[in-house]
Amino acid sequence: MSEIVYLGIDLGTSRTSLTSSTGIRTTVWSYVGYPKDHVAKKKMGGRETIYGKEALDNRMSLNVFRPLAGGSVKVKGAKDTGETKKAIKDLVEHVVAQAKAAKGATIYAVVGAPAEASVEGKATILEAAANCIDSVIVTSEPFAVAYGLDFLDDTLVVDIGAGTTDLCRVHGKMPDPEDQRTHIIAGDAIDQLLANLIKEKYPEAQFSINMVREIKERHASVSTRMDEVHEMLPVAGKPTKFDLTELVYKACYSLVPPTIAALQDLIATYDPEFQAKMRNNVLLGGGGCRIQGLGLAIEKALNEYGGGKVKTVEEPEYAGSNGALKIALDMPDTFWKEFKSAKKAEA
């Protein structure tokens, strides 16, 4: 009988994390690049496909895809081009390869998807995994976070990624569609708002969206006591210092109102006997939970609705993949046989 390797995968717009039953944990940037011409291919050592940060760093020589951004996996109603589907497939295969499973091993994986992922989005994941995984189960990303930390009793999970902010009401069972919400004010939207604010206040400043993302990741805060943000940006090629403190705060705070609205909606539609308990058990995960002061800002905004308590996961980078692996390990063998992928069917 072949070895069985279980994988937990948090398929993220910006970064994808893997936790395996073989003890491997790793994160790759969700970028895939293809050489633009023969010179670019020579520069990349003859490789046809480049992944992660290396693809981003060499984007002048590559056709770079961030295939999960705006694709069907993250956005309802979105249609994936053939190029996007290929990039998603290549990314998934690259991530699975990081587990270093023995040749011939049977691979079972639980993949985290947005809380309200569409049928098309889930189908895209299954199609992408067909050649490298024997059986795949797609689950809600915020539910995976809760499951991994054993927060299964009257918990509201908020998973803040790059493309979406996903919320899930967890109450001792697998979540139903009415237990989940998604909104699009997340990392990418914050980056774009910050870029717009900088352009509006300092039209002479030169920058790219990647530079803005790096500024946000260094200084993201909604704390009233946040440190001042001074960054060097070129003006006609000359490095110039700009005060971005207020702009970073405003861009990051844009996440709070839609998150409060979604939380309150999940609370208001829950059994009234348990609403207070759930409101006082909010769990923040995902890369966005690193925004300084975010938990306190959400608690303050919840005062209007009777108050609330917010906790932040300790390992946001791996909370989703750890939880997905735990689901995989706990899943009965009959479930895996039910969800056999095309890879097994063709064997």
Q: Are 54 and 25 in contact (CB under 8 A)?
A: no
Q: What is the mean pLDDT of residues 276-294?
A: 95
* Res 200: pLDDT: 98
pLDDT range class, residue 143, cuts 50, 70, 90: very high
- The tokens describing 49, both together, are 């496909």
74 has pLDDT over 90: no
Separation CA 168–CA 157 (nearest Å): 5
Name the nearest CA neighbour of 193 among 252, 244, 245: 252
pLDDT range class, residue 342, cuts 50, 70, 90: very low
Strand, coil or helix: what is 50?
A: strand
Q: What is the pTM of this model?
A: 0.88
Give pLDDT tens digits for 13-41: 899 999 999 999 999 999 999 999 999 99
Strand, coil or helix: what is 77?
A: coil
Name the nearest CA neighbour of 65 among 41, 45, 82, 79: 82
- Average pLDDT taken over every residue of the chain: 91
1 has pLDDT over 90: no
Strand, coil or helix: what is 245?
A: helix
The torsion angle over the Cα atoms of residues 37, 40, 42 and 48, rounded to 10 degrees, is -70
77 has pLDDT over 90: no
Give pLDDT tens digits for 153-196: 999 999 999 989 999 999 989 888 899 999 999 999 999 999 99
* Res 316: pLDDT: 92
Q: What is the mean pLDDT of residues 206-210?
A: 95
* Res 340: pLDDT: 62
Give all domains of the chain, ordered by start, each with its CATH number. Answer: 4-29+71-146+318-345 (3.30.420.40), 31-65 (no CATH), 149-185+256-312 (3.30.420.40), 187-253 (3.30.420.40)
Q: Is the alpha carbon torsion for 71, 139, 18, 10 positive or negative?
A: positive
Q: What is the mean pLDDT of residues 69-82?
A: 75
Give pLDDT tens digits for 232-271: 999 999 999 999 999 999 999 999 999 999 999 999 999 9
